[in-house]
Chain A
Amino acid sequence: EPEVTQTPSHQVTQMGQEVILRCVPISNHLYFYWYRQILGQKVEFLVSFYNNEISEKSEIFDDQFSVERPDGSNFTLKIRSTKLEDSAMYFCASTSGLNLYEQYFGPGTRLTVT
């Protein structure tokens, strides 16, 4: 069964550093999402991406965040200058144009900012 993959599984970075989290969505999917989950808290939406542009973003997704689909397969989330409060599990998700009710989530990248 096709699946969303994410790399790395765990990223440790120092405060103020830039990080790029990578995702490979399912190949024929058209809609892409990033969510995050701070340890012990609920899953929070960050941004959605369709047709090579951001379609929706939350208040969390400020100027420190950016997304890109640099080629036909990768979908990245960049945090320009990490803060301690950015420590969380980051999930990438994708969905096809046919079954918009079913978002497929990746296993997540655990980001630890020290």
Chain B
Amino acid sequence: DAKTTQPNSMESNEEEPVHLPCNHSTISGTDYIHWYRQLPSQGPEYVIHGLTSNVNNRMASLAIAEDRKSSTLILHRATLRDAAVYYCILRRGNYGQNFVFGPGTRLSVLP
């Protein structure tokens, strides 16, 4: 699976939007972009995923660059509960394979 690059940490104020970037310049045509997050002392949890088009769900939005070499996870209104490590993961195909987690971005939300 291709590698992703994320900032080590980011800060946001509560109730403001947060844009978490991810670079994946070596992405292949069959790589899906997944975002997971890990709240303190918990297991990772699924946030969103996409292939080519932008995606929205109840938790977040995923904006994918036209060349697919980068993507941005958007939290529309950060809450204190959104403080977590956010992982951007590429996975080839969608066949139930494991995820390869990198160090992720540690998001702090300030009240």
B residues in contact with A43, CB < 8 Å: 38, 44, 87, 101
Please tell me the number of chain B residues within 8 Å of chain A, measured between CB atoms.
22
| Interface segment out of the listed A69-77, A78-86, A101-109 | A101-109
Tell me the interface secondary structure of chain B in the complex: loop
Tell me the interface secondary structure of chain A in the complex: strand
A residues in contact with B49, CB < 8 Å: 101-102
* Distance from A5 Cβ to chain B, minimum over Cβ atoms (Å): 11
Q: Once bound together, how far apart are the Cα atoms of A71 and B110, in whole Å?
A: 46
* Distance from B86 Cβ to chain A, minimum over Cβ atoms (Å): 13
Q: Is the CB of B96 within 8 A of A100?
A: yes
A residues in contact with B98, CB < 8 Å: 33, 35, 45, 48, 56, 58
Q: Once bound together, how far apart are the Cα atoms of A15 and B104, in whole Å?
A: 32
